[in-house]
Amino acid sequence: MNADRSDLASRIDMTKPHPARRYDYWLGGKDNFQADRDAAEAIAAVFPHIRTAARENRAFMQRAVRFLAAEAGIRQFLDIGTGLPTADNVHDVAQRIAPESRIVYVDNDPLVLVHARALLASSPEGATAYIDADARTPEKVLADPALRETLDFTKPIALLMVALLHFIEEHEDPYAVVRQLVAALPPGSYLVLSHATFDPLDAETIAAMDAVNKNIKPVFSPRPLADVTRFFEGLDLLEPGIVSVSDWRPQAGPRPTPAEATGYGAVARIG
Ligand SMILES: C[S@@+](CC[C@H](N)C(=O)[O-])C[C@H]1O[C@@H](n2cnc3c(N)ncnc32)[C@H](O)[C@@H]1O
C-alpha cells in the first residue's frame, strides 16, 4: 500500500486499455480513460451483452459474499483481482451482515491502488487492507505483512478470485496459482471463483471476439468448463456446482441466459 506518487504516476498508462478500467466502464463507472472506453466499445460492438455479463459477474460475487457472511459464518475475505471500487464492494456486503468482517484486497492495477482508500473504508468493528501485488506471484501475496496483520490464518477465510483468472495465460499456470493460495488456507475456508467462457457462444461471435481480443493486453483467456473445473480439484463444490454466474443461487425473477452472462461461477469448501 506504500507506493510513492512518482512511482504510481509512472505506472499508470492512460494510452493502453486496462481490464479494471474497461470493466469499470461497462459497469457505468467514471474511473476510465479514452483508451479503455475505445477497447470496451470495440468489444461491445461484437458482443453487445458485455455490460450484462459484467453486471451479472458482479452480482454473482455479491450473492456469494452474502451467502458466506450470512449462512456460512465467514468473517475473513481475501479478494484477489479486486477491481476499481464501485457500489457494494466485498467489505460493504460482508460488513453489512457482520460488521466485524476483515477483508484484504489485492490488485496489480496502479489505478486501483490510487482508489484503494475507498476500499479501506472499514466499519469500526472490522478491518480492511490493500496489497499492491500480482496474482501470478502468490508467494508475494502470502508473504505480505498486511495479510497476516489483517487475517487470522487459524480461522476460515474466503478466497475470492472473481473475473481474474482469464487474465492469466495457460503458460503462466493459473491452476498452480489457485492451488498455492488454497493450500495456505485453513480447513473450513472457501473458494469463490468466476471465469469468462465462450462455451455458450456461436462460432461467428467467437471469431469476432477473438479478432478484437488479439490486440489486447493482458491476453484474455476465456476457458471451457473442463478447464474451469480444474480450479476446484480436491475441493467440495457447493450446490449448484459450476454454472453460469446468473444461475448461481439467483434471486427470483427473470435472468440472463448463459450466452449473455458468458461466465462460470462457483463456490467450494476447502478441506
Ligand atoms: C474484471 S475485473 C474484476 C473485479 C472484481 N473481482 C469483480 O469481479 O467485480 C479484474 C481485476 O483483476 C485485476 N487483475 C488482472 N490481472 C491481475 C493480476 N495478474 N494480478 C492482480 N490483479 C489482476 C484487474 O486489475 C482488475 O481489477
CA of 163 to the centre of ligand 1 (A): 7
- Tell me how far the alpha carbon of residue 200 lies from the centroid of ligand 1, in angstroms: 23
Mean pLDDT of 86-93: 95
DSSP per position, 171-192 = GG-HHHHHHHHHHTSPTTEEEE
Q: Which of 236, 229, 233 is CA-nearest to residue 268? A: 236
193 C-beta closer than 6 A to ligand 1: no
* Average pLDDT of span 75-104: 97
| Residue bearing the CA closest to ligand 1, atom 13 | 81
Mind listing the pLDDT tens digit for each residue in 6-61? 787 788 888 999 999 999 999 999 999 999 999 999 999 999 999 999 999 999 99
Average model confidence (pLDDT) across the chain: 95
DSSP 28: T
Per-residue buried b or exposed e for 116-134, using 16+ beta carbons within 10 Å of the residue's own CB: beebbebbeebbbbbbbbe
* Ligand 1 atom nearest 18 alpha carbon: 25
Candidate from 62, 108, 220 with most ligand 1 atoms within 8 A of CB, to mutate: 108
Among 57, 60, 114, 167, name the best residue to mutate to test ligand 1's pocket (greatest count of ligand atoms within 8 A of Cβ): 167
pLDDT for the residue numbered 161? 98
Catalogue all structural domains in the chain, each as residue range(s) with its CATH number.
2-270 (3.40.50.150)
Write the CA distances from 122 to 58, 60, 91, 100, 115, integer angstroms.
Answer: 20, 22, 7, 9, 14
Task: Give the global pTM.
Answer: 0.97
The answer to whether residues 133 and 119 touch, using CB atoms and an 8 Å cutoff, is no
Tell whether ligand 1 has an atom less than 6 A from the beta carbon of residue 108: yes
Task: Give the number of other Cβ atoms within 10 Å of residue 240's Cβ.
Answer: 12
pLDDT digits (tens, 9 = 90+) for 214-262: 888 899 999 999 999 999 999 999 999 999 999 999 999 999 999 999 9
